[in-house]
Amino acid sequence: MSNILIIKHGSLGDIAQISGAIQDIKENHTNDKVFILTTPPYEKLFLKCPYIDEVYIDQRLSRLNLFYLLKLKQVISKLSLVKIYDLQNSSRTSFYRKFLFNKIEWSSTETTLPSGTNKSNFDKDPALERFNFQLINSNIVTKHTLEPNFSWASENIDDLLKKYNLEKYILLFPFCSINLPHKKWPYYNNLISLIKKYNPEFELIIAPSPNEIEESKKISARAILKDDKALTITQLAGLIDKAQFIISNDTGPAHMAAHLGARGVTLFGHHTTPKKVSIETNKFRAIIKDNLKELSAEEVYSNISEELQLV
């Protein structure tokens, strides 16, 4: 038995997205121990992952912090790794490859790039296709990478459903990172009014993160919390999994929904394309408008109204 390491620091949507890649790596290393190096917010999530044997934490301190880097190198060196799969493919992990773990076989975008292609051009391809290419060219037989299944992250939330008396509900994600305001569609309350008018059988809910709880009071939907706190990632996955329909900005929960097999839509502006971030499935699709402020609630409702009649 050998030891291998996967590196994935974040973000939440990216972690949902690489579920298939992690599964493929494990299935190709059935007799090996698979570790993952991640960041503190995702430790508990990966502890739940059936394809990961142990979790190690990278605090991602400054690269000028030589004491931290040396300590990290010592911790990882003790694992006696035979291979590292870099699924983060960042400048930081490239630094690790060159200066910390240069004696270990390494799989990354850089080490598997198609001949004559630079990384910036390669990164324009759909995300899942890039992971698939990386793994195939690292001698991994891929069965799941292009169709990730994030269901392992879902926690039983029957107690939460009972507390809020939730049966048939639409889950909305009207928020986004404070640094990415262009991803935020501004007309959720208008859409909520339309759904309440024409589809009163649905309860409309939101699940704010810790820094969204105050803002959630401005949304005309029921906020779902656990002991007055934001849901954990696994509780959120369970809530998504039980929803009849999801409506979301292009955020981490949207990617979770897509790879949990949920039915719904995500609202895309000019910032990227659904194809590039590999978010669309046969049940989860994108509504696209260059300027999200020009996408009306009536247009969104018209787009989803038939589907709401079927769920």
pLDDT (tens digit per residue) in 240-263: 999 999 999 999 999 999 999 999
Least confident of 53-67, 105-119, 137-151: 105-119
pLDDT (tens digit per residue) in 104-115: 999 999 999 988
Residue 201 has pLDDT above 90, yes or no: yes
pLDDT (tens digit per residue) in 212-246: 999 999 999 999 999 999 999 999 999 999 999 99
- Indicate if the alpha-carbon torsion angle 34, 40, 42, 46 is positive or negative: positive
All domains in the chain, ordered by first residue: 3-149 (3.40.50.2000), 154-310 (3.40.50.2000)
Task: Read off φ and ψ for residue 276, nearest 5 degrees.
Answer: -65, -40
Are 126 and 132 in contact by the 8 Å Cβ rule? The answer is no
Q: How far apart are CA 178 and CA 123, in angstroms?
A: 25
Are 9 and 38 in contact by the 8 Å Cβ rule? The answer is yes
pLDDT of residue 85: 98
Q: How far apart are CA 259 and CA 257, in angstroms?
A: 6
pTM: 0.94
